[in-house]
Structure 1
């Protein structure tokens, strides 16, 4: 499943037809963070099914992010991100199995850090698209 399909499956409320690739990835990060926060709330409410569903969607979104990695252009950064995405997926799975909210927090912190960096290059990306 590619990143666009992953996003469409988990977030049907936002129109993505006009989103450029950079914006789509921003939406994926936001969607993953939102679902992790919702999963934490479901975990605290002892809603096992809801928690599991939301964590699964978070893992799916991270898989979508992984599908966007470009190893030719991204080089070492893409390799490191792939490893980090793999770690996040495994940590979310463990959080679900062990009902461990601290693991959800850990992944959310990692995602926020990457998202902040991605958001920070938005202006540069948009100016390159308009120049090209």
Structure 2
């Protein structure tokens, strides 16, 4: 059996639909708003971020973080220092934030060696 998609990226969930016509996009929506989902992630570029360069280490477990868009999406501590970048698979959150969502999280684990790493659990705050 063959695929019924239009052969374009608009077939994938989260893509913006075209105006009318075949392959109008949108993908197979599950009915769940992904902006309203909690998620966990491992932050990227930790050693290049403000927190690590200022302190020489990573934030301890249970440190509060929020997400801010600074060209890229970053996890930021209460003093405004970037802790790490969110993986690009979470770029859809920029649209969620533009719609009024905010995201608060806590460091669930971190390590400075052998490579700095920070894992965070985030939960949405609806507009």
User: TM-score, with normalisation over the residues of structure 2?
Assistant: 0.29
Q: 1 or 2, which has the higher strand percentage?
A: 2
Q: Which has the higher contact order (CA 8 A, sep 6+)?
A: 1
* Greater helix share, structure number: 1
- In our comparison, the structure showing a higher alpha carbon Rg is 2
TM-score (norm 1): 0.28
